[in-house]
Structure 1
Amino acid sequence: MTAVKVFPLRIGRTKVPYGQFYGGLDTFSLTEFVQDKDHFIWVPIHAFLIEHPSAGPFLVDTGIGPGQADEHARYYGGSIMEYLMDDDEYDLPAGERIEVQLERHGYRPADIRGVVVTHFHEDHIGSLNLFPGAEVYLGRDEYEARDSKALGLVPLAYPRSIEAVENWRPVDFTGPAIGGFDRSADILGDGSLVLLPTPGHSPGSTSALVRTDSSDLLLTGDAMYTIRHLAVDHVRQMQTDNAETFVDSIRRIQWLHRALPNLVILTSHDHTEYGEHLRGALAGGELSEADLSWAKAWERETFDPVFGINPAKLPRFVPAADGDPVGLAR
């Protein structure tokens, strides 16, 4: 197996309605998303740096940029997004900008050879324009839907966020089956970075399976918001595209989890103990045997063999003591 390393990069955070994350079983709607101003939570935004010894550095997603965080209304001026989203939707400290984090690993944006875009939502492509020369991989269905608008209002891909990209590489999933997936795409040709179709959150949402010497890492983007969403019959996020397809994608991830004993799932916004622990454990690019054992023990305590969730692990909203609309998700 090729020696590959994966480094989580925290690119600020985003303020979201609690129902967006955990109200899917109650059919939390776009109208509720816009109107619910009393039940917010802050969740992290993550991209992932992949170091490959011969293919060079890759990214999975790019997070947000300072224009979105610091000049939100101006950045989205003239579009419906200016009115649907709050000005403080994003928070991006200077030290968490993606170019600053890359520099800590010895890279400049120009060094990045490729970017995998899990999907076109703004908190995943806000810094994409920093990498105009990189090859940008994404599911073909996502690429072809880039000009579509949800409910005729919200663009799948906000033009300003993608206008600098020169090298689109739409992916056709013609590779072999793996786990619950009947097709795949090995974009580097050595099995170390395999893309899997996980539509539902967006038309062509894609997850990235990264195979390292110590573990298999599935980077899901927003196909799952947190590890708890693996229990799709008990914990479900707001549906933004196709509910049936979304659930089917989670079922396929469940089968992948069964097929790969060393699989660890990393989502972009996991605010739980699981996500925080594993991102810290990957500071050196690989999981230790102890951290992999910790992850598997946590999963056994949380899920039964068919991915029902331990009732004690169900999420709940905890209001702020001072009445602030931003609370916590436990």
Structure 2
Amino acid sequence: MLKILGKIGLLVPALATATVWLVVLRLKNVPVPLLGAYGLLLIGLVAGLLWPGVLGRRVTRRRVLTFVGVPVGLGTLALYLTVVYHVKDLPMLLALAGAACLAGAVSALLRGRRRADDQGTRRTRRALLLGGAGLVLGMLSGLSIGPVERQRREMLARGEHERQAAMRAPGARRRITDGAVRVFPIHIGDTIVTYGQFYGGLDGWEGLNGYLRTLVDKAQIAVPVYAYLIDHPRHGPMLVDTGVNWEQAHDHDGYYDMTSRLLTERDEYRMSPGQDLRVHLARLGYDVKEITTVFLTHVHDDHAGGLRYLPQATVVMDRRDWKHGVLYPYSFDLVKDNLSFPAFDSGAFGTFPASQDYFGDGSLVLLPTPGHSPGHMCVLLRLDTGSVLFMGDTLYTLSHLATGQVRQMTIGGADTIRQLEAAQRIQQLLSSDPGVVPLFAHDNTRYQFDLVTSTFTDGTPGAAGLWELRRHMQTVLTPEWRLRPGHTPRFVAPASGPGLGKVEFR
């Protein structure tokens, strides 16, 4: 009985590990038929090692290892090299292979000493061969470090060359210093997401179920990633979010470690040289070193990646996000000593029970909007002719303000409730103050691409510009926050074969 329980105790974690690995491979777009065949081999290996008799009376564990284990091992290596491997792994892989050879050599040597016959001699000879192979692999591991680092330096140098060329391209402007508060939308590349993740929150895309659906449903779209530059006459140049950095888009696997690579998609970001944060700032007449403050709506990597270019800036974010929301810490390595956590002790702000008047002069107010992340916050900036509300990911697009009809994937449970409560407070704020205009981080509609971009061309929208944005909101949404006809999103599959779909509004 104890033996059976022990085998069951081994079976459960083995199957759990295999399931996680299969899920990771599906996330990496491994075809389902191939994944199914590989999964059956994994199950056969686990079952055969624990209960070899299941596969036949004459089946032994050695045969299971030979006829099932070897194909599984080769398949695992092939899948790893195909979907996870990055050149920076080479020294580690060689070192692991060398260590395995040395361990095999020690085992063969110890077993060979126990016998004085020909088999003992063969085992000793095998130990010497394995030991030699282990030493060679160890030397290759050390020798490979230099070329791997050189390859990465060359790649970064090519990126720097492209960035400098983008900075020198015609059309750059000089910084305007006339005492006005200016806001510039900065389109920092795109992120590739599942359509249901972006628009399917009312169709079952919620919590764990939603995440699992992203593994199976590959109807994907590209949506923009926006940060916003604020030039304030009293408080200097600031940013709301920072978008992604060049390495995330062009050297994704090199930027993330192996564990993170398993949980992210290789092509999740794309960015042209001209969309680099540093290029954007330079072409607007600013130096990235001038940025004094970054207001981070939340810690997700598509909003925090550009922090690597801003080691001098104070990064203002909710403490709850820092403690409980960071998934990949790489973006924060250079600013983790410059973090500032607002206390939200400035009292209520409209329908928001708490707020933070950051500078103490009413010019910029932080509003807690948890749900999408533990400490998500929105930022309200006073302009000369009105206000803008930086939404972060509380709501992705203008259409998402119709929360009863359009919803992004939410975390589920209490977090979904908190996010919807935050959205309702935003609706009430926009209803009560017609001078407030929402600005989104991922809006893929005409509102962002045409109106926001043109209205903020020189950073100062003026009363007429803000009124035009509010007027467009009224053509999309009713006063009860319902979508008007012609503005309901719909996924359009690519015309031929796999690829990115589009979103139409009908």
Query: So what's the TM-score if we normalise by structure 1?
Result: 0.92
* Corresponding residue pairs, total: 318
**Match in the other structure for 1:36:** 217
- Is 1:309 matched up with 2:489? no
What is the correspondence of 1:9-158 to structure 2 with a 5 Å cutoff? 9-28=186-205, 29-37=210-218, 39-79=219-259, 81-146=260-325, 156-158=326-328
Matched to 1:11, the amino acid is: I
CA distance in 1, matches of 2:463, 2:236: 26
Matched to 1:35, the amino acid is: V
Classify the secondary structure of the residue corresponding to 1:127.
helix
Q: Which whole-Å deviations, capped at 9, do the CAs of 1:265-318 have from their partners, x for residues lacking one?
A: 111010100111212310111213443232222222222222122243111101
What is the correspondence of 1:196-207 to structure 2 with a 5 Å cutoff? 196-207=367-378
What is the correspondence of 1:168-247 to structure 2 with a 5 Å cutoff? 168-240=339-411, 242-247=415-420
Q: Which whole-Å deviations, capped at 9, do the CAs of 1:212-258 have from their partners, x for residues lacking one?
A: 01221111111111011111111100013611111001000001101
Classify the secondary structure of the residue corresponding to 2:261.
helix
In structure 1, stretches of 5+ residues that fail to align are 147-155
Q: Which whole-Å deviations, capped at 9, do the CAs of 1:79-123 have from their partners, x for residues lacking one?
A: 2x3133321111111111101111122222221100011111110
Deviates more, 1:134-143 or 1:319-328: 319-328
CA distance in 2, matches of 1:240, 1:104: 38
- Per the TM alignment, residue 157 of structure 1 is displaced from its structure 2 partner at its CA by 3.7
Deviates more, 1:277-286 or 1:19-28: 277-286
- Is 1:164 matched up with 2:334? yes
**Match in the other structure for 2:425:** 252
Pair member with larger Rg: 2
Q: If each structure's strand is expressed as a fraction of its own residues, which one has the higher value?
A: 1
- Per the TM alignment, residue 139 of structure 1 is displaced from its structure 2 partner at its CA by 1.3
Q: Are the equivalent residues in 2 in contact too, given 1:317–1:328 (CA < 8 A)?
A: yes
Matched to 2:494, the amino acid is: A
CA distance in 1, matches of 2:180, 2:318: 26
CA distance in 2, matches of 1:325, 1:60: 32
- Identify the structure with bigger relative contact order (alpha carbons < 8 Å, sequence gap 6+): 1
CA distance in 1, matches of 2:411, 2:241: 19
Identity level (%): 40
Classify the secondary structure of the residue corresponding to 1:283.
coil
Q: Are the equivalent residues in 1 in contact too, given 2:434–2:470 (CA < 8 A)?
A: no
Deviates more, 1:83-92 or 1:24-33: 83-92
Q: If each structure's helix is expressed as a fraction of its own residues, which one has the higher value?
A: 2
Deviates more, 1:199-208 or 1:183-192: 183-192
Q: Are the equivalent residues in 2 in contact too, given 1:179–1:258 (CA < 8 A)?
A: no
**Match in the other structure for 1:264:** 437
CA distance in 2, matches of 1:102, 1:76: 26
Query: So what's the TM-score if we normalise by structure 2?
Result: 0.61
- Per the TM alignment, residue 69 of structure 1 is displaced from its structure 2 partner at its CA by 0.7
In structure 2, stretches of 5+ residues that fail to align are 1-178
Matched to 2:198, the amino acid is: F
* RMSD, aligned α-carbons: 1.5
